[in-house]
Structure formats: structure tokens, C-alpha cells
Amino acid sequence: MRGSLRVTALAVALCCAALLAAMRAEARSELSYATLMTGSYPQPVDFSAYAPDAGATAATHVFAGVLQLRFDGTLPHRTLRADPAYVGAADLARALTWPADFAYEFVQDGAALVPMRRGAIPGSHAWWEVILEPGRVWNEAGDHGLTRAAIPFSLQERNSNCTHNGVLMFLFGANGIGSRTAMQITSETCLYLHIDLWAMLQTQYRPTVPVRRAVVLLAYRAERAARMPVRTLAQLQADHPQLDVAALAIGAADASTIHGLVVAGVNYMSDCATRSGNYPYCEQLDLPSYSLAKSLFAATALMRLQSQYPKAGPELISAHVPQCRGPAWAGVSFVNALDMATGNYDSDQFEADELDAKTAGLFLATTHRGKIAFACKAYPHHAPPGTRWVYHTSDTYLLGTALAHLLRGLPGHQHDDLYRDLVHAQIYAPLQLSGTTAVTRRSYDAVAQPFTGWGLTFNPGDIARLGVFYDVDHGAIGGTPLLDPDMLDQALQRDARARGLPVAGYPGLRYQHGFWARNLRPVLHCRHDTWVPFMSGFGGISVVLFPNGVVYYDFADDAQPASFDWAAPAREVRKLGDYCQ
């Protein structure tokens, strides 16, 4: 009898265990094994489906090889905004297709799945280029022994900076056995094109041993080890209870990509909200620089060269750019171009030239020849150099061209690239920024001229670290100054004798050496003028370098005044150390 009871009890236990296992296997309701193998994908799902489930365990298979993804025809989509001033009907039709040449190598490092190429990858697609970020691999009970992988990625507009963030998910096993790949995009940092894309992609996995596997993994591990600590805004509230954390969110919620505050070496980040829940890989989110590059590339390059070769700033544009030889460019220096003070313009009203349709001559040209022709010839001479601020991205492109020529003319540097060998190798790489920053947008020709005034891509941690580099570390790494101290002090409003040129129509703004500055005296009721430097980008991007060592950043894309107005965050940051003069 007792034996019979033991057998019965064992049978019940086994039955319950099997039932529990089955329940766990069915716990995932979105992007399940059945869906990835043969199911449909009729509409976007909450992005939590692209993250591990509660019962996830370590991956049992190792991915190393080429992931090839295809989709024929128009992707399932929703078009929320397509501004015809930027996106024609033919452009939109192209944007709704998948890159036919998507075939990229990945290598696994524990639970991480690392792309062999980082940054925007030029391809054959007429609208998109692909950016791949490190993802994750894991096992789930319902996947029949296969391993599940998720890869954060972006589609970024070719020859531009509009960035649409998404995630890929698929199953794989030994010898390349796997599923189809789910793809979803429901957020972007892009003023003129808002679209949702989702699909099941045809998938081929070809196991290989990537040639540069060891080099890529070593770099990735170093990048991870150097990351600034990340905490949530809820933790910011707990760590600094005097703050009203809600005040850090500016502008319309549906226009925001991310915002955060860097305090005492900690990057406090908001969630990365999308139209389908929170993006599950927020630290790997791709953020376009737009005109942040005027500070982070153009200004940094000139300040770096000036620190090594003190005659760089006064060099004349016309001496280094043959297309600009002529009366209009007589006496225009590198610093004048960085300051947006060449004296050449159509209108001196606030950004009237920059917003004019004629700038398509710069932004839509794909070759260096086209872009430099616009930069040199588009505007007549109206004022002496250095006397009047008029915002032109073309001036920054021109400066980048001149800087590249100067660099290659220096002994031992005849083959150097302005971005790769100066900005990235000497600043970004020592700061151990993400691998995504190794690439910048360039002209599509043999010249491959960096855009200089736009076209970089960052992860949130890169923005935090760069903010600290300028604001707290004063342009030094390991105690060694890398940027010209006088130019940096002027750019960051640390030299009261040099506030920069006034911005037309805005008496509370200045511009100097690629950085903006705002007088917060009216906002904070300071006794004296209090100039705070910041960087600004198209659509609603701000990175603010407060004098108390706190860095604030916000990425938005509706171009509304509220998305540029960081007065409320400025009041909260003051509570962390009074910088009001």
C-alpha cells in the first residue's frame, strides 16, 4: 500500500511538473516560438516582447556568423507624419522597404551578441543605412531548445541624420537552425518622418568564425568596462530628494526620445518611450547628433589642432579651400567660420538663411564637389569677418574641409583623416565611447569628406561622458589637457571678456566657437548675468553644461519652442549647487 502511495505521489508530482513546464512554455504571448516559426505579425506589439521573459536562462547556443535578413515589397507600416517639404511620395515609398543587402556578421560574448561593424553602414538602399548595436541572447522554456536573440538597431536616413530605432528578434540553434526574424520600429528622432514599421523577415544564419573576432570583443569589453554608471530618474529622486524630477521632462511627451541628468559621475536616464511601450535596450539607443556635431566635431577638431599648432585658428579659409578664393572670402579665418561670422549671407535674421529652401544645395548634394560649391558660392559678402552672427551649416562644412587640408599638410600627417585620426583617435577613443562613434557621415565619393556640422551618432552614455569631458574635466583626459584652453574657456563662458556674438533677435543668447550660451539671469533672478553654455541640434536636441558640473540632455523632434526651453531643468540643477551669479 505504501509503495502504491509513493508511486501515485510521484506520478502526481511528475504531472504537476509537466503542467508547470507547459504553463511556462506558454507564458510568452507575444513573439512566441510558434509566431517566430510560422505565425503572423499583424500589428506592433509592446516592446517588452523583445526582452527576456521572467523565466529566461543562460543561452545554450553560441552565435558566430552572418545574419541575412530579407523582405520583398512594402513593409507593414503606419505613416504618422511625412512632411512633403522633406519627404516626397517616392521618398516615402523607398522608406517603406527593407535594405536588400542586409547581411552582417555578429559574434557572441557571454550573454551579449556583438555586431562586427558599428555605426552607420552605407549600402545599396536608396533611403536607409543600418546601424547595429550589441544585443542579448538567452533561453526560454517555450523555445524547444533554441536560443533567443534580440538586436537593437536603427535605420538612419542616407546622407542625413534622421534616426528610427527598432529591435530584431529571432531563434537560432546549432548549425544555423533558426526561425524567421521579427522586426519592429515605433520611435524615431526625426522631425519630418514618423513611421511605424514591423514585419517577419526571411532569415538565413550562416555560421562562420569572424576574422576580427578577438579585436572586436576586446574593444567591446573595454567599452562596457568604461561605461558611466546608469541609474533611473526614480533613483535620482531618491538620491537627491530636493529635486522635482518631473521638471526635467520638457516639451511634448510624444516628441521626446530621452532625457537625463549627469550628476557626480552618474548618468540618470529617463525611460526611452516609444509608441509601443518603453524601448527595452535604452542604453544602446542610437541618438543623432544633428548640429551637436558643430560642437562635438568642428569645435573639438579646431581646439585640438590649436592646442598642438597655435596658428590653426587664424588660418584663412581661402588658403585651404581653392573653391573659396575670391573677394567674399578675403580675411575669413577658421575661427570666423566656427563662430558663424564669415560676413557672407543673404539675411541676417535668425536662421533665415538656414531654413531657406536653397540649402538643399548643401544637404541634398551627395558629393563633396556639390557640397563645397554651395558652401563657397551660395551667399554674397555683406559684413567684415567676425562682426555678425549668421547661422550656416555650410560654414561648418567649409571649416571641416579647411581643417582636413591643414591637417594633411602637417609633417607626418599627409594621410590623416580629420575625424578618424584626430577627433576619434585622440578624443573619442581615449574617452572609450561606444563603437558607434567610430563612424561619421561623409560625402559619397572618393573624397569621403566628413560632414563636420552634422552626421554623428551616439548612445546616451556617449553624450553623458562627452558632457563631463567639456564641463567637468575641462577638455582633459587623465589630467592631460587636449583642447586649447583659451578657446575652450571662451566657448564655455569662462572668460567674461569674450561672451561671443549676439544671436539675431535673441538678446539672451550668444554663440561662440561652436557653442551656444544662454543668459539665465531673467529665469533664475540672478544678481548678475549668468551665461550657461549648451549645444543644440535640429528638431529639439539640447545638451547643457551647467557651471556647477551637472550636465542635462534632452533629445526631441517636434521643433517646438518648448522642446528647446530648458529653463525648468535649470531651476532644478541650481538645487545641486548654486551657479547663479
Question: If you average pLDDT over residues 314-322, what whole number do you get?
Answer: 97
**pTM for the structure as a whole:** 0.94
Give the angle 251-291-122 at the CA atoms, nearest 5°. Answer: 110
* Banded pLDDT at 7 (limits 50, 70, 90): very low
Q: Are 569 and 553 in contact (CB under 8 A)?
A: no
- What pLDDT score does 262 carry? 98
For 539-550, the three-class secondary structure string (H helix, E strand, C coil) is CCEEEEECCCCC
Question: If you average pLDDT over residues 200-227, what whole number do you get?
Answer: 94
- What pLDDT score does 18 carry? 38
182: left (phi over 0), alpha (psi -120 to 50) or beta: beta
Q: Are 396 and 337 in contact (CB under 8 A)?
A: yes
- What is the average pLDDT score of the chain? 94
- What pLDDT score does 8 carry? 39
Query: pLDDT tens digit string along 399-418?
Result: 999 999 999 999 999 999 99
**From residue 386, how far is each of 116, 342, 535 by CA, in Å?**
45, 6, 21
Instruction: Give the start-to-end residue ranges of the domains of the chain.
Output: 28-219, 228-285+465-471+486-581, 287-458
Fold observed for domain 287-458: Beta-lactamase (3.40.710)
Residues above pLDDT 70, as percent of the chain: 95
- What pLDDT score does 239 carry? 98
Q: Are 176 and 205 in contact (CB under 8 A)?
A: yes
- What pLDDT score does 27 carry? 61
* Banded pLDDT at 10 (limits 50, 70, 90): very low
**From residue 144, how far is each of 32, 58, 62, 147, 520 by CA, in Å?**
11, 14, 16, 9, 60
* Banded pLDDT at 1 (limits 50, 70, 90): very low
Give the angle 397-401-407 at the CA atoms, nearest 5°. Answer: 140
Query: pLDDT tens digit string along 366-381?
Result: 999 999 999 999 999 9
Which has the closest alpha carbon to 217: 322, 310, 109? 109
The whole-angstrom separation of Cα 461 and Cα 466 is: 9
Is it the case that residue 446 has pLDDT exceeding 50?
yes
Query: pLDDT tens digit string along 502-517?
Result: 999 999 999 999 999 9
- Which three cell numbers, joined as nine digits, stand for 129? 543605412
Give the angle 14-20-24 at the CA atoms, nearest 5°. Answer: 145
Sign of the C-alpha dihedral, residues 56, 58, 61, 65?
Answer: positive
Enumerate the β-bridge partners of residue 456.
Answer: 440
**In the block, residue with C-alpha cell 517555450:** 142
- Which three cell numbers, joined as nine digits, stand for 243? 529635486
Is it the case that residue 4 has pLDDT exceeding 70?
no
3-state secondary structure of 255: helix
Query: pLDDT tens digit string along 547-578?
Result: 999 999 999 999 999 999 999 999 999 999 99
- What pLDDT score does 104 carry? 97
3-state secondary structure of 103: strand
* Banded pLDDT at 28 (limits 50, 70, 90): confident
The radius of gyration of the chain's CA atoms, rounded to the nearest angstrom, is: 26
3-state secondary structure of 481: strand
Query: pLDDT tens digit string along 181-193?
Result: 999 999 999 999 9
- What pLDDT score does 17 carry? 40
The whole-angstrom separation of Cα 430 and Cα 113 is: 24
For residue 31, give the amino acid letter.
L
- What pLDDT score does 13 carry? 39
